[in-house]
Amino acid sequence: MAQAVVRRVASAGGEVMLVARDPEKLRHVGDDARVRGAKIADLLQADLDLVGGHAALLDRAFAALGTVDVVLIAQGVLAAPEDCERDPALAERVLVTNMVGAALLAQAAALRLAAQGSGTLVGISSVAGDRVRGSNYQYGAAKAGFSAFLEGLRCRMSGRGIRVVTVKPGFVDSPMTAHLAKGPLWASPDAVAGVILRAAERGRDVVYAPGYWRLIMLAVRALPRWLLIKLRL
């Protein structure tokens, strides 16, 4: 998804700094963005679970870019509940990457933007966090935590010239979901990127991507617990 956002920014001739954990993938996405017209301020390899590194990373980003318009937090890990049950280290990663790492990066970035007096922080959470179910409880709980954290951060930052936006994608056809069978509700990363960039510019602070997930989640949140359990959702 982050790659799709970068491509749209690139085609408009924007300037970006990219952060990723895998140096090869970072280079591949960076080259692609450059050919498509982006100015690359910097490419930085970092494991965002290591929250101690966030400050240095943001220093470097603000130094390279000057004024920062948008900070997009897009890291995430998905794992099946049974795999997490078998392997607590994996469960820990799901909780840390999706919740702790993302939330602390959001906090640090929001403070920088507030100091700058402008800008938008966008965090990618998930519809999975709107109603946590047995089939994704580690991931869902982490995303629920991240959504809640952003909600609070938004209140805290009000009046400081910045926006905090939560994007909740539904099913997106990306590397994260490569192993899953696709149906009609699935969206392309590019479609979600469109929603992300529009939301970063103006409008609601909590957006679903695509928008129809707002209705779906309204219904899913209203389901009684016994039904969720019965349906093994």
User: Given the complex with another protein, which of 7 and 163 has the nearer CB atom?
Assistant: 7
User: Given the complex with ligand NAP, which of 15 and 49 has the nearer CB atom?
Assistant: 49
Site string for ligand NAP, 76-105 (x = CB under 6 A): xx-------------------x---x----
Is residue 7 within 8 Å of 190, Cβ to Cβ? Answer: yes
Instruction: Give the residue closest to ligand NAP by C-beta.
Output: 76
Backbone torsions φ then ψ of 72, nearest 5 degrees: -110, 125
Q: Which residue has the tokens 């820990």?
A: 92
Region 165-204 residues binding another protein, contact defined as CB under 8 A: 174-175, 178
| 47 binding ligand NAP? (CB under 6 A) | yes
Backbone torsions φ then ψ of 187, nearest 5 degrees: -115, 160
Site size with another protein, rule: CB under 8 A: 11
Q: Is the dihedral angle over the CA atoms 148, 134, 99, 74 positive or is it negative?
A: negative
Report how many helices (DSSP H) and strands (DSSP E) the chain contains, helices first: 10, 6
32: partner contacted, choices another protein, ligand NAP, none (Cβ within 5-8 A by kind): another protein
Name the E strands within 5-63.
15-20, 39-45
| 1 binding ligand NAP? (CB under 6 A) | yes
164: partner contacted, choices another protein, ligand NAP, none (Cβ within 5-8 A by kind): none
Q: Which residue has the tokens 């982050």?
A: 2
| 137 binding ligand NAP? (CB under 6 A) | no
29: partner contacted, choices another protein, ligand NAP, none (Cβ within 5-8 A by kind): another protein
Q: Which residues contact 202 (CB under 8 A, 6 or more apart)?
A: none
| 24 binding another protein? (CB under 8 A) | yes
Residue 139 annotated among the catalytic residues of the structure: yes
Q: Give 35's Cβ-side CA count (13 Å radius).
A: 5
210 preceded by cis ω (within 30°)?
yes
| 126 binding ligand NAP? (CB under 6 A) | yes
DSSP bridge pairs for 206: 166
162 vs 119: CA distance, rounded Å: 5
165: helix, coil or strand?
strand
From the list 48, 68, 109, 196, which residue makes contact with ligand NAP (rule: CB under 6 A)? 48
- What the block records as the tokens of 129 is 């966090």
Region 27-86 residues binding another protein, contact defined as CB under 8 A: 28-29, 31-32, 35-36
Site string for ligand NAP, 151-190 (x = CB under 6 A): ------------------x-xx-xxxx-------------
Residues labelled catalytic: 139
Residues that bind another protein (CB under 8 A): 24-25, 28-29, 31-32, 35-36, 174-175, 178
